[in-house]
Amino acid sequence: MCDTCGCNLTPGNKHLAFKPVSKGATAVSVLKDLLAKNDDQARHNRTHFDQHGILAINLMSSPGSGKTALLEATLTALKNEFTCAVIEGDLETENDAERIRAKGVQAHQIVTGTACHLDAHLVHDALHHMNLDGVDILFIENVGNLVCPASFDLGQHLNVTLLSVTEGDDKPAKYPVMFRAADAMLLTKTDLLAVLDDFDPDKAEAHLRNLANPAPVMRLSARKDMGMDAWLTWLREQFAAQRARVAIGQSRRPAIQSDGMKYHRATA
């Protein structure tokens, strides 16, 4: 599709391009994704990750659902297996990056000020402050927010969305844009299920399926080391899959941008 020769015109949109307009004016058909600039940068980031053989994972959830605690436990468990790096996104403070660095893992904090989400340009700038040589898995912890981060591609390969059991099990129904984008949904803090009578993990999963999302659902507690094995196994599989894609010059975009086409040729 291009903007110059008219090949983006289809019988379905032709009427928009040739609508009569007032004198002295011209109607121009554009049909370009509004976030094209962000998406171009995201593609550039993804190519960069692929060239380094890195698997990039975007973690999204509400504030306080345990993204950083999950990362702390995950980084400890994978310490001898993979070299990981973390980009942290928050409105203020270096607190999360410091928690990650305390685990001996490279971390860069993006302080967004008032912005409610990370975008591909912020991630690109962060990459310039990091040493990606030898990194296997890059975790990007997005700003805690179930709305805005879902609309911005960062260049990641996978979206992982957390839902803590102290939130409602109908969160996927309330925030469909976010949960539709998930390549995996993690139900976190499951050690608290015993004292909560209003969160049904099966219902949470059913709400996810209602969004036509086949993503695996894993139940875990990072603090109490419950259910972590399934998550770590999934990470290992995804890392192996990424290395296999890189070997044959392919890449992967997260669920949301799939457009029914799961893989696309790397533009490197």
Partner 1 sequence: MHELAVAQALVEQVDAVIDQHQASRAILIRVRIGPLAGVVPDLLATAFPLAAAGRRMDHAELEFTHAPIRVHCQTCGAETEAAMNRLLCGACGDWHTRILSGDELLLESVELETAPALPLES
Binding site for partner 1 (CB under 8 A): 3, 13, 16-17, 19, 21, 24-38, 115-117, 119, 147-148, 150-152, 172-174, 176-178, 180, 207, 209-212, 214, 256, 260
Rounded (10°) CA dihedral 239, 245, 246, 251: -100
DSSP-assigned states of every residue in 231-263: HHHHHHHHHHHHHHHHHTTEEE--GGG-TT--E
CB of residue 22 to partner 1, shortest distance in Å: 8
CA triple 49-160-230, angle to 5 deg: 105
| Least gap, CB of 210 to partner 1 (angstroms) | 5
CA 256 – CA 11 distance, rounded (Å): 26
CB neighbour burial string for 195-207, b if at least 16 within 10 angstroms, e if fewer: eeeebeeeebbeb
Residue nearer to partner 1 on the CB measure, 29 or 76: 29
Distance in Å, CB of 213 to partner 1, minimum: 8
For residues 156 and 242, which CB has a smaller minimum distance to partner 1 in the complex? Answer: 156
Min separation Cβ 2 and partner 1, Å: 12
CB nearer to partner 1: pick between 26 and 131: 26
**CB 241: neighbour CB atoms within 10 A?**
14
Closest to partner 1 by CB, 94 vs 170, is 170
Smallest gap from residue 124 Cβ to partner 1 (A): 15
24 vs 104 by CB, closer to partner 1: 24
What is the SS3 assignment for 87?
Answer: strand
Gap between the Cα atoms of 192 and 196, Å rounded: 6
Q: Dihedral (C-alpha) 108, 110, 111, 112: value to the nearest 10 degrees?
A: -170
Question: Which residue, 249 or 263, has its beta carbon nearer to partner 1?
Answer: 263
Specify the long-range contacts of residues 29-34, CB closer than 8 Å, at least 24 apart. 30/3, 31/1, 32/3
State in angstroms the smallest separation of the CB of 221 from partner 1: 27
